[in-house]
Chain A
Amino acid sequence: MWENIKNSVIEIGEIARFFIRFFREFFRKGYEFREMLRQCFFLGYKSLGLVAITGFIIGLVITIQSRPTLIKFGAEAWLPGMISVSLVREIVPVITALICAGKIGSGIGAELGSMKVTEQIDAMEVSGTNPFKYLVVTRVTAVTFMVPLLVVFADAISLYGGYLGVNLRGAISWDLYWTQVMESLSFGDIIPSISKTFFFGFAIGIISCYKGYTTQHGTEGVGRSANAAVVVSSLMVFVLDLVAVQITDLLQLI
Protein backbone atom coordinates (compact mmCIF):
# COMPACT_ATOMS: atom_id res chain seq x y z
CA MET A 1 0.00 0.00 0.00
CA TRP A 2 2.69 2.46 1.14
CA GLU A 3 4.86 1.36 -1.74
CA ASN A 4 2.01 2.03 -4.23
CA ILE A 5 1.48 5.54 -2.89
CA LYS A 6 5.22 6.20 -3.06
CA ASN A 7 5.39 4.96 -6.67
CA SER A 8 2.38 7.06 -7.68
CA VAL A 9 3.95 10.20 -6.20
CA ILE A 10 7.23 9.44 -8.01
CA GLU A 11 5.35 8.93 -11.29
CA ILE A 12 3.47 12.24 -10.92
CA GLY A 13 6.83 13.93 -10.34
CA GLU A 14 8.28 12.26 -13.44
CA ILE A 15 5.29 13.35 -15.57
CA ALA A 16 5.70 16.92 -14.26
CA ARG A 17 9.40 16.85 -15.26
CA PHE A 18 8.48 15.50 -18.67
CA PHE A 19 5.85 18.24 -19.05
CA ILE A 20 8.38 20.97 -18.17
CA ARG A 21 10.96 19.43 -20.50
CA PHE A 22 8.38 19.51 -23.32
CA PHE A 23 7.96 23.30 -23.02
CA ARG A 24 11.71 23.83 -22.65
CA GLU A 25 12.39 21.85 -25.83
CA PHE A 26 9.40 23.39 -27.63
CA PHE A 27 10.81 26.89 -27.29
CA ARG A 28 14.40 25.83 -27.97
CA LYS A 29 15.76 26.74 -31.42
CA GLY A 30 15.67 24.21 -34.27
CA TYR A 31 12.11 23.04 -34.83
CA GLU A 32 11.51 19.71 -36.60
CA PHE A 33 8.81 21.14 -38.87
CA ARG A 34 8.88 18.42 -41.52
CA GLU A 35 8.52 15.67 -38.96
CA MET A 36 5.62 17.54 -37.34
CA LEU A 37 3.81 17.75 -40.69
CA ARG A 38 4.44 14.04 -41.22
CA GLN A 39 2.94 13.33 -37.81
CA CYS A 40 -0.07 15.55 -38.59
CA PHE A 41 -0.64 13.37 -41.66
CA PHE A 42 -0.29 10.08 -39.78
CA LEU A 43 -2.10 11.08 -36.60
CA GLY A 44 -4.75 13.35 -38.13
CA TYR A 45 -5.46 12.39 -41.72
CA LYS A 46 -5.18 8.67 -41.02
CA SER A 47 -7.81 8.99 -38.26
CA LEU A 48 -10.38 10.71 -40.51
CA GLY A 49 -12.18 7.51 -41.54
CA LEU A 50 -12.59 6.22 -38.00
CA VAL A 51 -13.71 9.61 -36.68
CA ALA A 52 -16.16 10.05 -39.59
CA ILE A 53 -17.84 6.67 -39.03
CA THR A 54 -18.06 7.24 -35.27
CA GLY A 55 -19.43 10.76 -35.70
CA PHE A 56 -22.03 9.63 -38.24
CA ILE A 57 -23.28 6.76 -36.08
CA ILE A 58 -23.41 8.91 -32.94
CA GLY A 59 -25.42 11.61 -34.76
CA LEU A 60 -27.84 9.05 -36.13
CA VAL A 61 -28.28 7.13 -32.87
CA ILE A 62 -28.75 10.21 -30.67
CA THR A 63 -31.43 11.49 -33.06
CA ILE A 64 -33.29 8.19 -33.18
CA GLN A 65 -33.17 7.81 -29.39
CA SER A 66 -34.21 11.39 -28.64
CA ARG A 67 -37.26 11.39 -30.90
CA PRO A 68 -39.70 9.34 -28.68
CA THR A 69 -39.09 11.56 -25.64
CA LEU A 70 -39.64 14.75 -27.62
CA ILE A 71 -42.81 13.29 -29.21
CA LYS A 72 -44.17 12.65 -25.68
CA PHE A 73 -43.93 16.38 -24.99
CA GLY A 74 -45.14 17.31 -28.48
CA ALA A 75 -41.79 18.90 -29.18
CA GLU A 76 -40.66 16.90 -32.20
CA ALA A 77 -39.90 20.10 -34.05
CA TRP A 78 -37.14 20.82 -31.50
CA LEU A 79 -35.26 17.68 -32.50
CA PRO A 80 -32.64 19.33 -34.80
CA GLY A 81 -31.94 22.07 -32.27
CA MET A 82 -31.66 19.70 -29.32
CA ILE A 83 -29.40 17.15 -30.96
CA SER A 84 -27.13 19.85 -32.41
CA VAL A 85 -26.48 21.34 -28.97
CA SER A 86 -25.89 17.89 -27.39
CA LEU A 87 -23.59 16.77 -30.18
CA VAL A 88 -21.52 19.92 -30.59
CA ARG A 89 -21.19 20.80 -26.92
CA GLU A 90 -20.42 17.46 -25.40
CA ILE A 91 -20.92 14.18 -27.17
CA VAL A 92 -18.77 14.60 -30.29
CA PRO A 93 -15.75 16.28 -28.59
CA VAL A 94 -15.61 13.62 -25.87
CA ILE A 95 -16.26 10.64 -28.16
CA THR A 96 -13.72 11.89 -30.73
CA ALA A 97 -11.14 12.50 -28.00
CA LEU A 98 -11.70 8.97 -26.67
CA ILE A 99 -11.35 7.53 -30.16
CA CYS A 100 -8.10 9.50 -30.54
CA ALA A 101 -6.90 8.36 -27.10
CA GLY A 102 -7.44 4.78 -28.28
CA LYS A 103 -6.03 5.02 -31.76
CA ILE A 104 -3.37 7.73 -31.47
CA GLY A 105 -2.47 7.09 -27.82
CA SER A 106 -1.83 3.39 -28.28
CA GLY A 107 0.05 4.07 -31.52
CA ILE A 108 2.39 6.61 -29.94
CA GLY A 109 2.85 4.54 -26.76
CA ALA A 110 3.75 1.40 -28.71
CA GLU A 111 5.90 3.17 -31.33
CA LEU A 112 8.01 5.14 -28.88
CA GLY A 113 8.11 2.18 -26.50
CA SER A 114 9.50 -0.17 -29.14
CA MET A 115 11.94 2.53 -30.28
CA LYS A 116 13.15 2.82 -26.71
CA VAL A 117 13.66 -0.90 -26.08
CA THR A 118 15.35 -1.50 -29.46
CA GLU A 119 17.78 1.40 -28.85
CA GLN A 120 16.41 3.45 -31.78
CA ILE A 121 16.14 6.49 -29.52
CA ASP A 122 19.82 6.10 -28.55
CA ALA A 123 20.70 5.69 -32.24
CA MET A 124 18.90 8.93 -32.99
CA GLU A 125 20.88 10.69 -30.27
CA VAL A 126 24.23 9.52 -31.61
CA SER A 127 23.11 10.62 -35.08
CA GLY A 128 23.14 14.24 -33.95
CA THR A 129 19.41 14.50 -33.27
CA ASN A 130 17.68 15.54 -30.09
CA PRO A 131 15.25 12.59 -29.81
CA PHE A 132 12.94 14.44 -27.43
CA LYS A 133 12.49 17.27 -29.90
CA TYR A 134 12.23 14.95 -32.90
CA LEU A 135 9.87 12.38 -31.40
CA VAL A 136 8.01 13.98 -28.50
CA VAL A 137 7.64 17.67 -29.35
CA THR A 138 6.49 16.92 -32.91
CA ARG A 139 3.94 14.30 -31.85
CA VAL A 140 2.47 16.30 -28.97
CA THR A 141 2.16 19.40 -31.18
CA ALA A 142 0.59 17.40 -33.99
CA VAL A 143 -1.99 15.75 -31.71
CA THR A 144 -2.79 19.09 -30.02
CA PHE A 145 -3.74 20.60 -33.38
CA MET A 146 -5.21 17.53 -35.04
CA VAL A 147 -7.76 16.59 -32.35
CA PRO A 148 -9.66 19.94 -32.65
CA LEU A 149 -9.70 19.60 -36.45
CA LEU A 150 -10.98 16.04 -36.17
CA VAL A 151 -13.67 17.23 -33.73
CA VAL A 152 -14.86 19.96 -36.15
CA PHE A 153 -14.98 17.36 -38.92
CA ALA A 154 -16.83 14.88 -36.67
CA ASP A 155 -19.29 17.65 -35.63
CA ALA A 156 -20.23 18.19 -39.27
CA ILE A 157 -20.55 14.47 -40.00
CA SER A 158 -22.59 13.82 -36.85
CA LEU A 159 -25.00 16.64 -37.73
CA TYR A 160 -25.40 15.09 -41.15
CA GLY A 161 -26.13 11.77 -39.38
CA GLY A 162 -28.69 13.69 -37.34
CA TYR A 163 -30.34 14.97 -40.54
CA LEU A 164 -30.72 11.40 -41.80
CA GLY A 165 -31.99 10.32 -38.37
CA VAL A 166 -34.70 12.99 -38.37
CA ASN A 167 -35.76 11.94 -41.88
CA LEU A 168 -36.02 8.26 -40.99
CA ARG A 169 -39.35 8.73 -39.21
CA GLY A 170 -40.25 12.27 -40.12
CA ALA A 171 -39.65 14.66 -42.95
CA ILE A 172 -37.55 17.78 -42.83
CA SER A 173 -35.96 19.63 -45.70
CA TRP A 174 -32.16 20.08 -45.90
CA ASP A 175 -32.49 23.87 -45.59
CA LEU A 176 -34.89 23.80 -42.67
CA TYR A 177 -32.74 21.28 -40.77
CA TRP A 178 -29.58 23.37 -41.08
CA THR A 179 -31.44 26.60 -40.30
CA GLN A 180 -32.75 25.07 -37.07
CA VAL A 181 -29.29 23.68 -36.22
CA MET A 182 -27.58 27.04 -36.76
CA GLU A 183 -30.24 28.94 -34.85
CA SER A 184 -29.80 26.69 -31.81
CA LEU A 185 -26.02 26.97 -31.74
CA SER A 186 -24.32 30.09 -30.42
CA PHE A 187 -20.64 30.99 -30.10
CA GLY A 188 -21.03 30.12 -26.41
CA ASP A 189 -21.64 26.54 -27.51
CA ILE A 190 -18.97 26.25 -30.16
CA ILE A 191 -15.96 28.12 -28.73
CA PRO A 192 -15.73 26.34 -25.34
CA SER A 193 -16.37 23.03 -27.07
CA ILE A 194 -13.54 23.50 -29.57
CA SER A 195 -11.21 25.12 -27.01
CA LYS A 196 -11.34 22.17 -24.66
CA THR A 197 -10.34 19.80 -27.48
CA PHE A 198 -6.90 21.47 -27.70
CA PHE A 199 -6.39 20.41 -24.08
CA PHE A 200 -7.73 16.92 -24.85
CA GLY A 201 -5.24 16.64 -27.70
CA PHE A 202 -2.36 17.92 -25.62
CA ALA A 203 -3.18 15.51 -22.77
CA ILE A 204 -3.39 12.53 -25.15
CA GLY A 205 -0.09 13.52 -26.80
CA ILE A 206 1.94 14.22 -23.68
CA ILE A 207 0.70 11.18 -21.71
CA SER A 208 1.19 8.78 -24.63
CA CYS A 209 4.65 10.15 -25.34
CA TYR A 210 5.59 9.96 -21.66
CA LYS A 211 4.47 6.35 -21.42
CA GLY A 212 6.25 5.38 -24.63
CA TYR A 213 9.43 7.36 -24.00
CA THR A 214 9.93 5.93 -20.52
CA THR A 215 9.26 2.29 -21.46
CA GLN A 216 11.31 -0.29 -19.59
CA HIS A 217 11.56 -4.08 -19.39
CA GLY A 218 11.70 -5.02 -23.07
CA THR A 219 8.78 -5.98 -25.28
CA GLU A 220 6.56 -6.71 -22.30
CA GLY A 221 7.02 -3.08 -21.32
CA VAL A 222 5.91 -1.92 -24.79
CA GLY A 223 2.51 -3.57 -24.33
CA ARG A 224 2.19 -2.06 -20.87
CA SER A 225 3.10 1.41 -22.19
CA ALA A 226 0.55 1.25 -25.02
CA ASN A 227 -2.13 0.10 -22.60
CA ALA A 228 -1.29 2.72 -19.97
CA ALA A 229 -1.21 5.44 -22.65
CA VAL A 230 -4.81 4.66 -23.63
CA VAL A 231 -6.14 4.22 -20.09
CA VAL A 232 -4.52 7.32 -18.58
CA SER A 233 -5.22 9.62 -21.54
CA SER A 234 -8.89 8.48 -21.70
CA LEU A 235 -9.23 9.21 -18.00
CA MET A 236 -7.59 12.61 -18.49
CA VAL A 237 -10.13 13.43 -21.23
CA PHE A 238 -12.96 13.01 -18.68
CA VAL A 239 -11.09 14.96 -15.98
CA LEU A 240 -10.42 17.83 -18.39
CA ASP A 241 -14.04 17.74 -19.55
CA LEU A 242 -15.14 18.17 -15.94
CA VAL A 243 -12.77 21.12 -15.49
CA ALA A 244 -13.93 22.63 -18.80
CA VAL A 245 -17.61 22.46 -17.83
CA GLN A 246 -16.86 24.19 -14.51
CA ILE A 247 -14.98 26.98 -16.29
CA THR A 248 -17.76 27.37 -18.89
CA ASP A 249 -20.27 27.54 -16.05
CA LEU A 250 -18.23 30.17 -14.22
CA LEU A 251 -18.05 32.24 -17.40
CA GLN A 252 -21.83 31.80 -17.76
CA LEU A 253 -21.49 30.33 -21.23
CA ILE A 254 -23.90 27.44 -20.52
Chain B
Amino acid sequence: MSLKTGYGTETETSETVIYLENLCKSFGENHVLRNFNLRLNKGENIVILGRSGSGKSVLIKCIIGLIKPDSGIIRVLQQDMSGIGLRELDQIRSRVGFLFQSNALYDSMTVRENLEFPLRRHRREMSEEEVARLVEEALTNVGLPHTINMMPSELSGGMRKRIALARTLILKPEIILYDEPTTGLDPITAGEISDLMIELGKKYHTSSIIISHDMHCVKKVAEKIVMLIEGKCYQEGTYEQLKASENEAVRKFFES
Protein backbone atom coordinates (compact mmCIF):
# COMPACT_ATOMS: atom_id res chain seq x y z
CA MET B 1 0.00 0.00 0.00
CA SER B 2 1.38 3.40 -0.90
CA LEU B 3 1.12 6.44 1.35
CA LYS B 4 -1.59 8.79 0.12
CA THR B 5 -1.91 12.45 0.91
CA GLY B 6 -5.43 13.79 0.71
CA TYR B 7 -8.27 11.60 -0.36
CA GLY B 8 -10.09 11.86 -3.64
CA THR B 9 -13.49 10.36 -4.36
CA GLU B 10 -13.01 6.63 -4.04
CA THR B 11 -14.97 4.28 -6.20
CA GLU B 12 -17.40 1.90 -4.54
CA THR B 13 -17.06 -1.80 -5.29
CA SER B 14 -19.11 -4.83 -4.33
CA GLU B 15 -16.64 -5.40 -1.48
CA THR B 16 -17.30 -1.95 0.01
CA VAL B 17 -19.31 -2.08 3.24
CA ILE B 18 -19.05 1.59 4.22
CA TYR B 19 -18.74 4.35 1.66
CA LEU B 20 -18.50 8.03 2.57
CA GLU B 21 -18.29 10.79 -0.01
CA ASN B 22 -17.86 14.52 0.63
CA LEU B 23 -19.27 14.25 4.14
CA CYS B 24 -19.74 17.61 5.85
CA LYS B 25 -20.87 18.36 9.39
CA SER B 26 -20.74 21.65 11.29
CA PHE B 27 -21.82 22.72 14.76
CA GLY B 28 -22.38 26.46 14.38
CA GLU B 29 -19.09 27.93 13.25
CA ASN B 30 -17.20 24.76 14.08
CA HIS B 31 -16.75 22.84 10.82
CA VAL B 32 -16.02 19.34 12.10
CA LEU B 33 -16.07 17.40 8.84
CA ARG B 34 -15.22 18.99 5.49
CA ASN B 35 -15.72 16.83 2.43
CA PHE B 36 -14.57 13.69 4.20
CA ASN B 37 -14.20 10.58 2.05
CA LEU B 38 -13.70 7.00 3.20
CA ARG B 39 -14.15 3.47 1.93
CA LEU B 40 -14.18 0.43 4.20
CA ASN B 41 -13.94 -2.91 2.46
CA LYS B 42 -15.16 -6.26 3.75
CA GLY B 43 -12.83 -7.76 6.37
CA GLU B 44 -10.78 -4.57 6.68
CA ASN B 45 -9.87 -2.79 9.96
CA ILE B 46 -9.39 0.95 9.56
CA VAL B 47 -8.21 3.19 12.37
CA ILE B 48 -9.20 6.85 12.31
CA LEU B 49 -6.56 8.92 14.02
CA GLY B 50 -6.91 12.55 14.94
CA ARG B 51 -6.68 15.01 17.80
CA SER B 52 -9.39 15.27 20.47
CA GLY B 53 -12.32 17.26 19.12
CA SER B 54 -11.31 16.66 15.52
CA GLY B 55 -14.67 15.00 14.76
CA LYS B 56 -13.83 11.29 14.91
CA SER B 57 -16.77 10.38 17.16
CA VAL B 58 -19.06 12.61 15.10
CA LEU B 59 -17.95 10.71 12.01
CA ILE B 60 -18.91 7.27 13.30
CA LYS B 61 -22.14 8.62 14.82
CA CYS B 62 -23.02 9.95 11.35
CA ILE B 63 -22.39 6.48 9.92
CA ILE B 64 -24.80 4.79 12.35
CA GLY B 65 -27.41 7.56 11.97
CA LEU B 66 -27.13 9.06 15.48
CA ILE B 67 -26.06 12.40 14.00
CA LYS B 68 -27.36 13.76 10.73
CA PRO B 69 -24.66 15.11 8.41
CA ASP B 70 -25.14 18.48 6.72
CA SER B 71 -24.29 17.08 3.31
CA GLY B 72 -22.53 14.20 1.60
CA ILE B 73 -23.19 10.56 0.87
CA ILE B 74 -23.16 7.75 3.43
CA ARG B 75 -23.73 4.22 2.18
CA VAL B 76 -23.65 1.38 4.69
CA LEU B 77 -23.89 -2.19 3.36
CA GLN B 78 -24.99 -0.72 0.00
CA GLN B 79 -27.85 1.16 1.67
CA ASP B 80 -27.99 4.94 1.25
CA MET B 81 -28.47 6.42 4.73
CA SER B 82 -29.98 9.75 3.60
CA GLY B 83 -33.75 9.78 3.85
CA ILE B 84 -33.77 6.20 5.12
CA GLY B 85 -36.96 5.02 6.87
CA LEU B 86 -37.00 3.94 10.53
CA ARG B 87 -37.53 0.28 9.67
CA GLU B 88 -34.64 0.20 7.19
CA LEU B 89 -32.45 2.11 9.65
CA ASP B 90 -33.15 -0.50 12.34
CA GLN B 91 -32.28 -3.26 9.88
CA ILE B 92 -28.95 -1.61 9.09
CA ARG B 93 -28.26 -1.02 12.78
CA SER B 94 -28.81 -4.71 13.50
CA ARG B 95 -25.93 -5.43 11.11
CA VAL B 96 -23.62 -2.72 12.47
CA GLY B 97 -22.26 -2.90 16.02
CA PHE B 98 -21.22 0.19 17.96
CA LEU B 99 -18.91 0.08 20.96
CA PHE B 100 -19.34 3.32 22.88
CA GLN B 101 -16.45 5.13 24.51
CA SER B 102 -18.27 5.13 27.86
CA ASN B 103 -19.43 1.50 27.30
CA ALA B 104 -23.06 2.70 27.67
CA LEU B 105 -24.11 -0.33 29.71
CA TYR B 106 -27.60 0.18 31.13
CA ASP B 107 -27.04 0.87 34.83
CA SER B 108 -30.49 -0.34 35.88
CA MET B 109 -30.11 -3.74 34.20
CA THR B 110 -28.02 -6.80 35.03
CA VAL B 111 -25.33 -8.03 32.63
CA ARG B 112 -27.79 -10.64 31.32
CA GLU B 113 -30.48 -8.00 30.66
CA ASN B 114 -27.92 -5.72 29.02
CA LEU B 115 -26.99 -8.48 26.59
CA GLU B 116 -30.58 -9.55 26.02
CA PHE B 117 -31.71 -6.01 25.20
CA PRO B 118 -30.47 -5.78 21.56
CA LEU B 119 -31.53 -9.38 20.92
CA ARG B 120 -35.09 -8.81 22.12
CA ARG B 121 -35.31 -5.60 20.09
CA HIS B 122 -33.75 -6.71 16.82
CA ARG B 123 -34.67 -10.41 16.87
CA ARG B 124 -38.16 -10.39 18.30
CA GLU B 125 -38.95 -13.83 16.90
CA MET B 126 -36.09 -15.50 18.82
CA SER B 127 -37.00 -18.11 21.46
CA GLU B 128 -36.03 -17.80 25.13
CA GLU B 129 -33.63 -20.76 24.82
CA GLU B 130 -31.89 -19.20 21.83
CA VAL B 131 -31.56 -15.85 23.65
CA ALA B 132 -30.07 -17.60 26.71
CA ARG B 133 -27.65 -19.55 24.52
CA LEU B 134 -26.44 -16.44 22.69
CA VAL B 135 -25.98 -14.52 25.96
CA GLU B 136 -23.90 -17.38 27.35
CA GLU B 137 -21.86 -17.60 24.14
CA ALA B 138 -21.21 -13.84 24.11
CA LEU B 139 -20.04 -13.88 27.74
CA THR B 140 -17.83 -16.90 27.15
CA ASN B 141 -16.27 -15.11 24.15
CA VAL B 142 -15.14 -12.27 26.41
CA GLY B 143 -14.18 -14.60 29.28
CA LEU B 144 -16.77 -13.37 31.77
CA PRO B 145 -19.54 -16.00 32.04
CA HIS B 146 -19.62 -15.65 35.86
CA THR B 147 -20.78 -12.01 35.69
CA ILE B 148 -24.15 -12.86 34.15
CA ASN B 149 -26.23 -11.80 37.15
CA MET B 150 -24.05 -8.89 38.23
CA MET B 151 -24.93 -5.21 37.87
CA PRO B 152 -22.62 -2.98 35.76
CA SER B 153 -21.69 -1.00 38.90
CA GLU B 154 -20.13 -4.17 40.36
CA LEU B 155 -17.71 -4.56 37.45
CA SER B 156 -14.23 -3.10 36.93
CA GLY B 157 -13.45 -0.80 33.98
CA GLY B 158 -11.94 -3.62 31.94
CA MET B 159 -14.84 -5.96 32.69
CA ARG B 160 -17.35 -3.30 31.68
CA LYS B 161 -15.51 -2.84 28.38
CA ARG B 162 -15.60 -6.60 27.76
CA ILE B 163 -19.32 -6.77 28.54
CA ALA B 164 -19.94 -3.81 26.22
CA LEU B 165 -17.97 -5.66 23.53
CA ALA B 166 -20.03 -8.80 24.16
CA ARG B 167 -23.23 -6.77 23.79
CA THR B 168 -21.94 -5.24 20.54
CA LEU B 169 -21.09 -8.66 19.14
CA ILE B 170 -24.19 -10.53 20.29
CA LEU B 171 -26.08 -9.69 17.09
CA LYS B 172 -23.11 -10.97 15.03
CA PRO B 173 -22.72 -7.67 13.16
CA GLU B 174 -20.92 -7.45 9.84
CA ILE B 175 -19.33 -4.10 10.74
CA ILE B 176 -18.20 -2.82 14.15
CA LEU B 177 -17.57 0.83 14.96
CA TYR B 178 -15.27 1.22 17.96
CA ASP B 179 -15.22 4.59 19.70
CA GLU B 180 -11.96 4.73 21.66
CA PRO B 181 -12.13 1.15 22.93
CA THR B 182 -9.09 1.32 25.23
CA THR B 183 -9.46 4.83 26.68
CA GLY B 184 -9.27 4.91 30.47
CA LEU B 185 -7.86 1.39 30.81
CA ASP B 186 -4.48 0.38 32.18
CA PRO B 187 -1.91 -0.73 29.54
CA ILE B 188 -2.34 -4.45 30.31
CA THR B 189 -6.14 -4.38 30.13
CA ALA B 190 -5.95 -2.15 27.03
CA GLY B 191 -3.69 -4.74 25.39
CA GLU B 192 -6.15 -7.52 26.31
CA ILE B 193 -9.05 -5.58 24.81
CA SER B 194 -7.04 -4.99 21.60
CA ASP B 195 -6.27 -8.72 21.37
CA LEU B 196 -9.93 -9.54 21.99
CA MET B 197 -10.99 -7.17 19.20
CA ILE B 198 -8.63 -8.91 16.77
CA GLU B 199 -9.64 -12.40 17.91
CA LEU B 200 -13.40 -11.76 17.73
CA GLY B 201 -13.03 -9.87 14.45
CA LYS B 202 -11.39 -12.95 12.93
CA LYS B 203 -13.94 -15.32 14.49
CA TYR B 204 -16.98 -13.43 13.17
CA HIS B 205 -15.34 -12.04 9.99
CA THR B 206 -16.21 -8.44 10.82
CA SER B 207 -14.99 -5.22 9.23
CA SER B 208 -14.31 -2.35 11.57
CA ILE B 209 -13.64 1.32 11.96
CA ILE B 210 -11.69 2.04 15.13
CA ILE B 211 -11.21 5.42 16.72
CA SER B 212 -8.29 5.43 19.08
CA HIS B 213 -5.54 7.54 20.56
CA ASP B 214 -3.83 4.54 22.07
CA MET B 215 -0.90 3.95 19.71
CA HIS B 216 -0.27 0.43 21.08
CA CYS B 217 -3.86 -0.48 20.19
CA VAL B 218 -3.55 1.26 16.82
CA LYS B 219 -0.36 -0.65 16.00
CA LYS B 220 -2.01 -3.97 16.88
CA VAL B 221 -5.37 -3.64 15.16
CA ALA B 222 -4.87 -1.28 12.22
CA GLU B 223 -4.52 -2.59 8.70
CA LYS B 224 -4.91 0.95 7.45
CA ILE B 225 -4.80 4.28 9.27
CA VAL B 226 -6.64 7.37 8.13
CA MET B 227 -5.52 10.69 9.58
CA LEU B 228 -8.44 13.03 10.27
CA ILE B 229 -7.04 16.54 10.41
CA GLU B 230 -9.04 19.75 9.86
CA GLY B 231 -12.12 17.68 9.05
CA LYS B 232 -10.53 15.99 6.07
CA CYS B 233 -8.75 12.77 5.24
CA TYR B 234 -5.30 14.23 5.59
CA GLN B 235 -3.25 11.14 4.91
CA GLU B 236 -3.72 7.39 4.87
CA GLY B 237 -1.40 4.40 4.96
CA THR B 238 -0.15 1.60 7.15
CA TYR B 239 1.28 2.19 10.64
CA GLU B 240 4.86 2.02 9.40
CA GLN B 241 4.18 4.29 6.41
CA LEU B 242 2.61 7.01 8.52
CA LYS B 243 5.28 6.70 11.19
CA ALA B 244 7.86 7.44 8.54
CA SER B 245 5.82 10.29 7.08
CA GLU B 246 7.63 13.52 6.37
CA ASN B 247 4.59 15.50 7.37
CA GLU B 248 5.12 16.86 10.88
CA ALA B 249 1.42 16.92 11.83
CA VAL B 250 1.23 13.20 11.08
CA ARG B 251 4.56 12.19 12.57
CA LYS B 252 3.77 13.89 15.90
CA PHE B 253 1.16 11.20 16.65
CA PHE B 254 3.75 8.47 16.33
CA GLU B 255 6.45 10.22 18.31
CA SER B 256 4.43 10.46 21.52
Interface positions of A (Cβ within 8 A of B): 111, 114-115, 118-120, 122-129
Contacts and interface: CB of A to CB of B under 8 A. Distances in A.
Interface residues of B, number: 21
Contacts of A124: 106, 117
A141 B122 CA distance: 25
B89 to A, nearest CB: 9
B98 interface: yes
Contacts, number: 45
B169 interface: no
Top 5 closest pairs, chain A to chain B, by CB: A123-B104, A128-B121, A127-B118, A119-B104, A119-B100
B110 to A, nearest CB: 14
B64 interface: yes
A248 to B, nearest CB: 40
B94 A128 contact: yes
Given A125-B66, A126-B96, A128-B122, 10 more contacts: A118-B103, A119-B100, A122-B61, A122-B104, A123-B98, A123-B104, A124-B117, A126-B66, A127-B93, A128-B94
Given A120-B106, A122-B66, A127 B121 contact: yes
Interface of B: 61, 64, 66, 90, 93-94, 96, 98, 100-108, 117-118, 121-122
24 contacts: A115-B106, A118-B102, A118-B103, A118-B104, A119-B100, A119-B101, A119-B104, A120-B104, A120-B105, A120-B107, A122-B61, A123-B98, A123-B104, A124-B106, A126-B66, A126-B98, A127-B118, A128-B90, A128-B93, A128-B94, A128-B121, A128-B122, A129-B117, A129-B121
A127 B117 CA distance: 7
Contacts of B94: 128
